[in-house]
Structures are given as C-alpha cells and as structure tokens.
Structure 1
Amino acid sequence: MISERDAAPQYVLPLVVRIEKAEPPARTDALETAARAVLAMLGDERSTGDGTWAEPVRAWQDGRIRKVVRRARGAEWRRAGALPGVTVTGHRAEVRVYPPVPLDGWPKELAKLQVSGTDLDDPEPVPPAPDDGTPVLWLNPALEMSAGKAMAQAGHGAHLAWLGLSPADRAAWHAAGFPLAVRTATPDAWPTLATAGLPVVRDAGFTEIAPGSPTVASDHPALRR
C-alpha cells in the first residue's frame, strides 16, 4: 500500500560540492559543510511563510526529504553559483544548496553534474574530538559510503535534528551559525547512540547501501534535555 507521503509529488534537495583537482576539501570538512548547508536552507527566511522558496520546501518535506549531492569545479561551479541558492563554506569546503526541485525537474546546469566519483580523504586518520556541547552527527561505523553519499546522509541527520528542536532551540542554533561536527562512532558506542531516543536516519536504499540501514544518529544537546 502506498503511503500518503509516497503518493505526494516527490522533490529532492540539490547540493553541489566544489571539488577542484588541485585542492579538494577534506572529507570531514565537506560532510560538515553539507550538513550546515541543509540547515541554512531550512533556516533561510525565503524557505518559510510566504518566502519565495517556501512552497517547494513544503512540498519536499511532505515527501521523503531526499537529498542528492553532485560535484563541480571550474566553470561548472561558476555556472552552478549563478542559480538561486545559498553557498556555505567550511575550512576549505564549499557547498551550494538550492531550493528543492521535482525529481525530474533539475535545472540543466545541475543535471549535467556528476554524482559518482566524489571521493575525499581526511589528512589525519581520526579527526579530533568535537568540543563539548557541539551537536554531533554520528555515522554508523559498519557502513562504507562514498563522500557524496555520506554528505547527503549528514545533511539528512542535521535535518532530523532540526525537526526535533523547539523553535527557540532552532533560533539559537541558527544565530550561532549552526555549529556541528560529523564523526564516525566507534563500534562500541554506535548501538547506544542508535537506541538512545535520538533521531536516526534510515536510508531509503536508492544507492550504495541496503534499504532501512541506520546511517546517522543526530546528537544535539537540546534533544537530550
């Protein structure tokens, strides 16, 4: 039986990460920047009320809140930057997020960009521990994901955290610039995180991993109060 959510018109949130050959961003930097880009779209005044993006954002959130990350460099990135959206920067990473579009309605400037091949590495094997009080998006250590897939999952984890917060906590997070960290949980810690009552992303299984796989646990301090 098709659910009401699946029967609704389906939209997708496009994200484009800048990956120049000579200076690609670090993997964790790209994941964190993608997560903040999703939050920037959700918190943008154009996405709420009578804003110019409010209607597609509502239609997107009424469905499966899909997110797809594509990559661009050089002239591709400049063309992508000319479309309405928001660019979020990390340490070196740059991610541009756009208002949701129908699954088959991507702008031609974005439709031609590649999804696969988004492979990034961290300069250190293990990123440093997050500062105390920082919201953390914990990745499932049992899953292997490309950087592009992990970016989409981190964005989804940030989205679920946003939905679980009160308006006051959302406003405070927004005002602070959406600080967050993305880290891979240890095998010992993951079962507790996944069953602690925190929002957990379960992948739809369209790419790379099996349907229903838990990918991210969203650990925002306000969600533990």
Structure 2
Amino acid sequence: MSSDSPEDRDAAPQYVLPLVVHIEKTTPPSRTDALETAARAVLTLLADERSGPGGEWEKAVRDWEDARIRKVVRRARGAEWRRASTLPGITVTGTDAEVRVFPPVPLDGWPKDLAKLQVSGTDLTDPEPPPPPAPDTPVLWFNPSVPMSAGKAMAQAGHAAQLAWWELPDATRERWSAAGFPLSVRTAAADAWSGLTMSGLPVVRDAGFTEIAPGTCTVVADHGVLMGAGPGGVG
C-alpha cells in the first residue's frame, strides 16, 4: 500500500499503471461494461502471483503503490490491439468489453507500442440505462455531478476497486478473486451522494492531473457485501 504522507508519495519515483481498452470503430463496448471490466482488470493484476512476493512484477507494483497511484487508459483497435496484446500483461473481458492491464511503468518510460496509443477517443455510451446493481456484489458509486470521459472514468473505477481491495482481509480477497471479481459500476442518486462520501467507505479523491479539480470526490467503493459475508455474496 502507498505511503500515508502525500509528500512522501510525491518524492518517490513516479509510476503509472497502463490500461488499454479495445475499441473498434464499428463495435465499441458499452460504457458501463468498460468501466466494470477496467475495475476487474486492476483487481486481477493485484491478485496475480506475479505481483506478489517473489513475483516478476512485485517491485514495479510496490514502487507504483509507494508513489501516486496513477492509472492511464488508452484505446487500441486492429493491429494496435494485437501488438499491445503481445506485451506482458493480462486481458480481462466483460460482456462486450476487453481491457488489457500491464504492470506499472515509469511515468516517462512507457513501452513504445503503448506510448503511441491515443488517450482521447474513449467517449463510450450505454445503449440502454444499466439495470440496478446485483444485491450480492460490491458497487462502485460515481459522483452524479462530475462528468468525465469514459477513459477517465475507467481509471477512477480501477482506483476505487483498488481502495476496496486494500481494506479486505486475505481470505476475502481470495474468495472474491475465485469468483471472478463480480462488481457493479453505477452513478449514485443525487440525494444519496453526500451520505456515501461520509459513510466511511473508501472514497476516491482525484489528484487533479486531468479533467477534474484536485481533491474532487469521484467514486465511493461500497464493498460492504464482501465485509459482511452475507448470503449469496462471495465473502
């Protein structure tokens, strides 16, 4: 987990977690599925044995978590996606989304095939409003008054999932991982948002590098079903 002091995090060498979303012109994924898949991709990397003690990604993950927990989402299609898929990483699929997550890299040291991918162009939509979240899964609640691009929102969803992961005991992490990291991403009701931010649940406060003012609360990770081990849940 990262240092508690913002000064310590800023002084540490800065790393970024690259995520690449597969977006073909004629068959783009839906926005909510892309957000949920990005969140599961981050969790999948954190749970991977290569990120753990003695793993080949352990140092990169530790150095990344000791600094600012930056995530950047880029898009790829066609040959770009095929080249990105050959680099060390993990591809996670949703209903119609594909997201590949890579071990953290230095902020100014992206692999060439990832560095040239575009950050813009991830303006995804939902053909239909998403249904209510499943009652037995964690929910990542987005701030209803802060619009953001799909790429930015994917990074925020990944960050919220990571904050929830840090709070879970090892046994609960293992069960959630074995279940495939089920979760939902939804926009909170306007009259519920304030209560969510004061609930004691993990809250993402944006660092202000792109799109959003520093300190803005963007996502609340409601992982209560995991902590409570209720019937039908994975805890």
Task: Calculate the TM-score normalised by the size of structure 2.
Answer: 0.93
Aligned equivalent of 2:49, options 22, 45, 50: 45
Paired position in structure 1 for 2:133: 130
Q: Distance in 1 between matches of 2:65 and 2:8?
A: 12
Secondary structure of 1:41's partner?
A: helix
- The more displaced of 214-223 and 111-120 is 214-223
Distance 1:133 1:2 in 2: 35
**Please, which of 152, 158, 168 is the counterpart of residue 165 of structure 1?**
168
Question: Residue 88 of structure 2 aligns to which amino acid in structure 1?
Answer: P
The runs of at least 4 consecutive aligned structure 1 residues that moved more than 4 Å come to: none
Count of aligned pairs: 224
Per-residue CA deviations over 1:117-145 (Å, capped at 9, x if unaligned) read 21000011x21001112100000001010
Alignment of structure 1 residues 1-225 onto 2, 5 Å:
3-124=7-128, 126-221=129-224, 222-223=226-227
Tell me, in whole angstroms, the C-alpha distance in 2 between the residues paired with 1:50 and 1:143. 40
Shift of 1:224: 6.2
Amino acid at match of 1:75: A
AA of the residue aligned to 1:74: G
Aligned-pair CA distance for 1:168? 1.2
> Structure 1 stretches of 5 or more lacking a match?
none
Amino acid at match of 2:130: P
Q: Read off the aligned partner of 1:82 and give its amino acid letter.
A: T
Q: Considering only aligned residues, what root-mean-square deviation do their CA atoms show, in Å?
A: 1.2
Distance 1:4 1:18 in 2: 35
Offset, 1:64:
1.1
How far off its partner does 1:158 sit?
0.3
Whole-Å separation in 1 of the counterparts to 2:35 and 2:68: 21
Shift of 1:197: 0.1
Q: Deviations over 1:136-170 (max 9, x none)?
A: 00000010100000000000000000001111111
TM superposition shift of 1:2: 7.0
CA contact (8 A) 1:138 1:182 kept: yes
Q: 3-state DSSP class of the match of 2:79?
A: helix
- Stretches of structure 2 that go unaligned for 5 or more consecutive residues are 230-235
3-state DSSP class of the match of 2:20?
A: strand
Q: Aligned AA for 1:157?
A: A
CA separation in 2, counterparts of 1:220 and 1:161?
6
- Percentage identity across paired residues of the two chains: 71
User: Partner letter of residue 191 of structure 1?
Assistant: S
What's the TM-score, normalizing by structure 1? 0.97
User: 1:161–1:220: 8 Å Cα contact kept in structure 2?
Assistant: yes
Deviation at 1:5, TM superposition (A): 1.4
